[in-house]
Structure formats: C-alpha cells, structure tokens
C-alpha cells in the first residue's frame, strides 16, 4: 500500500494588494503627487505623515521609476476607478470572429457556390473566414485539386473579402484566411 504525502505548500497563493500601500512601501525616498499636495521628492516617513494627516492612503503608482512615484489618494476609490477604466478598454477592443468553411478535394461546383454564399454572408457581418480543404486517407494525392478549389473559392468571394493568408498545406489540410473588405462591413 502506497503512502501519500501531504503537500507542504498550498496549490495556490493568496495575493496581497495589487499596489504597495502605506507601510508596505519599502524605499527611502518617493516622488509624491496628489491633490492639494506640493509635488516633489520626500522621505517615506514625511510622505506617510502627509497622507495620514489628510486621512488618505499612500499608494505606490510607479514602482520602477527612480524615485518611485506615490500618490496620496483613497485606495478603494483608486481601485474602483482603475477597474472602471479597464472595463471600458475591454469593451472598446474589437473581437474577431472566425467562421470555418470546410471542403473536400471532390467538392462539386454547386456545393462550392452554396458555401461561397455562406462565406459572403459571414464577410458582410464582419467575420473572418477560414476556408480549408480536408484530406482523408488516400485523397491526399489530390493536393492540386485542393489548391484549385480554393482558387475558385477566392474568385467567387473576391468582392466581399481579401485573402489575408494564402493557401498553405499543413498536416492533412490546405487552409487559408479571408478578411472582410472594410467598405463592405456593416
């Protein structure tokens, strides 16, 4: 029977505050900023005295600067404002959607038209399209058919999108990416 040992260290570590505040600041001199304060370089004792006199926290904003920059502010309010800014930035970032269209080397002309219509709709909506030809078993000998199929596909949707990545062979498939034209985007 095997004996199991207990872990000596916890699997995850608790993190402290995101920034060094008040007594956690270990440097001797800091550049002090804040509302109603004369900006300048102060000793850490003087900076803590100023912040406590105002009833606020001393927060290390830029620890890598020489000397580190500290701001006299209410820490909870500072975290709230930072969280709000981060959320705004995240909302403004554009999320790219990639739709996939799959072919085989023996895809017929009608099926190609049908899939091209779907790709047009995806590109009109602003999504990128990944078109690929999947090879199974011995079908791998028809690589040239695969490239030809993707070339026809590009011709059919050329007015709605442009080729972002040329067709390339990887593993058992030939794939390419098509991005929407800026003018056709909603």
Task: State yes or no: pLDDT of 33 exceeds 80.
Answer: yes
Which tokens go with 66?
A: 């020489």
User: What pLDDT is attached to residue 96?
Assistant: 79
Non-local CB neighbours of 133 within 8 Å, separated by 6+ positions: 102, 103, 104, 105, 107, 146, 149, 150, 173, 174, 175
Mean pLDDT, residues 143-167: 87
Mean pLDDT, residues 16-29: 76
Indicate the pLDDT class of residue 75, thresholds 50, 70 and 90. Answer: confident
- Which domains, and CATH codes, for the chain? 22-82 (3.10.20.80), 98-180 (3.30.110.10)
Task: State yes or no: pLDDT of 9 exceeds 80.
Answer: no
Indicate the pLDDT class of residue 184, thresholds 50, 70 and 90. Answer: very low
- Mind listing the pLDDT tens digit for each residue in 88-101? 888 877 777 888 88
Mean pLDDT of the chain: 82
Task: State yes or no: pLDDT of 29 exceeds 50.
Answer: yes
**What are the DSSP calls for 58-99, one per residue?**
EEEEETTSSSPEEEEE-HHHHHHHHHHHHHHHHHHSPPP-EE
Q: How distant, in Å, are the alpha carbons of 7, 118, 153 from that of 114?
A: 58, 7, 11
User: What pLDDT is attached to residue 11?
Assistant: 56
Which of these, 87, 186, 105, lies nearest to 153 by C-alpha position? 105
| Backbone φ, ψ for residue 171 (5° rounding) | 70, -120
Task: State yes or no: pLDDT of 174 exceeds 60.
Answer: yes
Three-class secondary structure of residue 42 per DSSP: strand
User: What pLDDT is attached to residue 84?
Assistant: 92
- Mind listing the pLDDT tens digit for each residue in 117-146? 999 998 888 888 999 888 888 878 878 888
User: What pLDDT is attached to residue 186?
Assistant: 44
* pTM for this model (two decimals): 0.49
């Amino acid at each position: 029977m095997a004996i199991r040992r207990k872990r000596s260290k916890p699997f995850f570590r608790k993190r402290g505050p995101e920034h060094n505040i008040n007594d956690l600041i270990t440097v001797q001199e800091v550049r002090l900023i804040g509302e109603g304060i004369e900006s300048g370089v102060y000793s850490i004792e003087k900076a803590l005295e100023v912040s406590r006199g105002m009833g606020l926290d001393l927060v290390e904003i830029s620890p890598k600067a020489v000397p580190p920059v500290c701001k006299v502010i209410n820490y909870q309010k500072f975290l709230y404002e930072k969280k709000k800014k981060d959320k705004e930035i995240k909302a403004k970032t554009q999320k790219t959607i990639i739709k996939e269209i799959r072919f085989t080397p023996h895809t017929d002309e009608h099926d190609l038209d049908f899939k091209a219509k779907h790709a047009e709709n995806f590109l009109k909506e602003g999504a990128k399209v990944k078109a690929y030809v999947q090879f199974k078993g011995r079908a791998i000998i028809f690589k040239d058919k695969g490239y030809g199929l993707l070339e026809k596909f590009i011709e059919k949707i050329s007015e709605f999108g442009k080729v972002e990545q040329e067709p390339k062979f990887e593993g058992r498939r030939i794939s390419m990416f098509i991005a929407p034209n800026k003018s056709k985007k909603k």
